[in-house]
Structure 1
Amino acid sequence: MTKNTKEHRSFAKDVSFLQKHTDIVVLKNDNSAVAVAPLFQGRVMTSTTNSVEGTGFGWINKKVIETGFLSEEERKGRIENQIYVFGGEERFWLGPEGGQFSIFFKKGDNFDFSNWKTPAVIDTDAFTLVTKTESTVKFKHSCELINKSGTIFKMGIGRTVTILEKKSIENILKKDISTKIEFVGYQTNNQITNTGEVAWIPETGLPSIWILGMYNPSPETIVVIPFKEGNEIELGEKVNDAYFGKISEEYLITKEDVLFFKGDGTKRGKIGVGAKRTQGIAGSYDANGKVLTLVTYNIQEAPNGYVNSSWEYQEEPYVGDVLNAYNDGSPEPGVPPMGPFYELETSSPAAALKPNETMVHIQTTIHLQGEEQELSEISEATLGVSLDEIIKMF
């Protein structure tokens, strides 16, 4: 169908590049394919609707992957001392990022970027490959984490990536897909288990599962997140855009029950939707490549709320967002963007687990590419808006 001639967007060439630098497991279903990297915590690096000549949807940081893991001496003064930004369109992470229960800041440190460091379990650790088939790959890992308040978490991790058949995608969409549309869908089952002898309790901090997808941006890409309309006193604010400063109407437009956010990779900004507002789905449309992307997750009870990742001491550490979107850009004048890329993210509830208890967070990602009228019908059925509405919003 739509053949992308740009080398850095070709799935086949991206996989060939990755295989020169790390192990890659390619899951396939008919024409669609998903590339998974065991050494990068089992992350989905990229996917495509056509494994031979199709576009790769995941943003891949080739410079960092080519450099590889650095020694401690080599890492001094580099961002790799704080995080290896490998990219990848769906990665396993853990929260919270900020606050007194953060796992990214040490006890006694203030919330400056120089003190921020990604834990090895979601940065440099390799997950163990347990089993793999043509359609599924399963990983496990174990770790010990200490949060900013000094609480120790002994944790087992499980992650399974499964490429979806056409019928499964149609069941999710509640709509048949015609031959005018190429598609790829995959689902990740992500688990954390308390392997220690002490229960995890809110008073000393709770972790959460945090799944982030990094996608290739374009000038024509717009993120769409529907939400429940209603009173802010009951449901909270429609959108939280205070992460990196207020976002202008040039990049964020909020209606009664849906928001539109540019995913063009030109201006840094992050938004979040709370648990009382979420409809359990987010999406984006790239009018340039005619690609509709949908991300869903398992909505579940959250008796302890969702972790708050704001970089400050928090009066309410469990009123965080369940669904986020990020647009990359320069963090400050004169500093280049990290990507550029844009992200769609989902989080599990805060995990108050007793010993041997497990929390599961399931995320599903679907890319659909092709005939605009049919894509518009799918967009209306899932996101509540047509492609014409999305395209004309900014």
Structure 2
Amino acid sequence: MKNLLYLVFILLTLNACNKNYDKGTFGYDVDFLNKNLKTVVLKNNNDKRQLVVVPDYQGRVMTSTSNGLNGKSYGWINYDLISSNKLEEHINIFGGEDRFWLGPEGGQYSIFFKKGDDFTIDKWFTPKPIDTESFSLVKNTDTSVTFNKEMQLTNYQGYEFDINVERTISLLEVDKIQENLQIDINDNISFVGFQSENKMTNLSETWSKDNGLLSIWILGMFVPSENTTVIIPYKDSLELNTRYFGEISSDRLAITNNAVLFKGDGKYRCKIGLPAKNALSVFGSYDAKNNVLTIVKYSRTEETSYVNSLWEYQDNPYEGDVINTYNDGAMKNGEQLGPFYELESSSAAIALKRGNAIKHIHQTYHFEGDFESINKIAKKILAIDLDEISFQK
């Protein structure tokens, strides 16, 4: 009898270890990533709220969940590129909910174009330290992980930057989420929240606007759908930047008295940005089909200098965007990076002295479940009724 019970125990254990998760679940994505990369999984005590981080991808948060291994996976992952074990020439779109980048992307102080090159896609290259090079893991607990990286970058002027980047990813507990967002969370919804704390230190001579400045730029990539709308509340008279990839039709972009609404379907390449005068410290998106509200909160300061990433020689290189959102779609050559949509925030650009640093915190929250409970959160944080965001209304 004991032998039979032992056999049953072994079979149950093997079955649990070999469980196949459906695509779209957190368990599926963790299994996939573990087959291809070294990962770090952060989770709370009951294992419901989890996220997975990849050191080789600059300490990138690939995805998260509010319902454990069988729960919905919130981040977009490029399965084909990762499993190919090949690297692309211009950029490696691995995916991820929180990835570390630096700006500016375009203009006379760009770190993506070489001096004298035209601002065209064939001349655009993502710097390897923020694309293909790994970050060193220096500390790890059940709910946080810290990475470090020293890097050298050269901008369009030929100016060389020596910097140190420290990046800490933390899974946030419920009391911290409620405190950060000033909300109460009831039992009718599942939720998860995490943050990246990003510090950039100047290791060389004092930077100046004449030579070019850098900004910390955090981008989150998410699964698009016909039912997904990006929501960006704003203040003052709106000066929306739509110059990145051309005009955007009214079935993709709508402006209310206090919010910009932007379609996140991954079917048309377009991008918008908000300058410092309009940007608040929160924005997000809503997936009406799956009833998932995503909130991004970042460390907003009173600084007014933000790098301009437009692909052109600029009259105002330090009047760039604080918030950006990008919807992926086919490029002129017919190729497509995703599909995905992005929620992005940037730090200010500061003339740092040697040894001085800037810090940028980017927080991501997901709320899933009961519509009324989620709508209450949306009204409180984004000042919008989710029933009123459809472009058809």
5+ residue gaps, structure 1: 71-79, 231-236
TM-score (norm 2): 0.92
Q: Give the whole-Å Cα distance in 2 for the aligned partners of 1:217 and 1:185.
A: 20
Q: Distance in 2 between matches of 1:229 and 1:379?
A: 20
Residue 7 of structure 1 and its aligned partner are, at CA, apart by: 3.6
Cα distance in 1 for partners of 2:31, 2:103 equals: 32
Per the alignment, residue 343 of structure 2 pairs with 344
Question: What is the correspondence of 1:123-202 to structure 2 with a 5 Å cutoff?
Answer: 123-196=131-204, 198-202=205-209
- Post-superposition CA distance 1:167-198 (Å, at most 9, x none): 111112212111111001001100110011x1
Which stretches of structure 1, 4 residues or more, deviate above 3 A after TM superposition? 5-8, 391-394
Per the TM alignment, residue 8 of structure 1 is displaced from its structure 2 partner at its CA by 3.2
Task: Give secondary structure in 2 for the equivalent of 1:324.
Answer: strand
Show CA shifts across 1:266-317 (max 9, x none). Answer: 11110101111111111110011100000010111325x0000000001110
Structure 2 residues not aligned, in runs of 5+: 1-19
Q: 8 Å contact 1:23–1:39 — kept in the other structure? A: yes
Q: CA deviation at 1:21?
A: 0.7
- Deviation of the 1:245 alpha carbon: 0.3
- Correspondence 1:64 to 2:81: yes
- Note if contact 2:97-2:219 (Cα within 8 Å) is conserved in structure 1: yes
What residue is the counterpart of 2:382 in the other structure? 383
Deviation per CA, 1:10-65, whole angstroms, max 9, x where unpaired? 11001100001111101002311011000000000000111221111111001110
- 2:386 is the alignment partner of 1:369: no
Aligned twin of 1:328: 328
Contact persistence 2:222–2:341 (CA under 8 A): yes
1-structure distance, mates of 2:374, 2:389: 12
Q: What aligned pairs does 1:290-305 form with structure 2 within 5 A after superposition? A: 290-302=291-303, 305=305
CA distance in 2, matches of 1:241, 1:15: 36
Contact 1:229 1:256 in 2 (8 A): no
Structure 1 Cα separation of the partners of residues 69 and 99 of structure 2: 24
Does the aligned pair in 2 maintain the 1:297–1:346 contact within 8 Å?
A: yes
Tell which structure's C-alpha radius of gyration is larger. 2
- The alignment status of 1:307 with 2:307, answered yes or no, reads yes
The CA deviation at 1:6 is 9.1
RMSD: 1.4
| Matched-pair contact (CA < 8 Å) for 1:222–1:261 | yes
C-alpha separation in 2, matches of 1:342 and 1:40 = 19
The one-letter amino acid of 1:317's match is P
- Is 1:255 paired with 2:284? no
1:23 aligned onto 2:38:
yes
Q: Does 1:205 align with 2:212?
A: yes
Give the distance between the partners of 1:26 and 1:6, measured in 2 at CA: 17
Amino acid at match of 1:102: S
Paired residue total? 372
Amino acid at match of 1:28: K
Q: Classify the secondary structure of the residue corresponding to 1:388.
A: helix
Counterpart mapping for 1:36-51 below 5 A = 36-51=53-68
Partners of 1:68 and 1:345 in 2: CA distance: 27
Residue 307 of structure 1 aligns with an amino acid whose one-letter code is V
- Hey, what does 2:4 align to over in structure 1? none
Return the alpha-carbon distance in structure 1 between the equivalents of residues 350 and 53 of structure 2: 26
2:359 matched residue in structure 1: 360
| Counterparts of 2:114 and 2:239, CA distance in 1 | 32
- For the pair 1:14 / 2:15, whether they are aligned, the reply is no
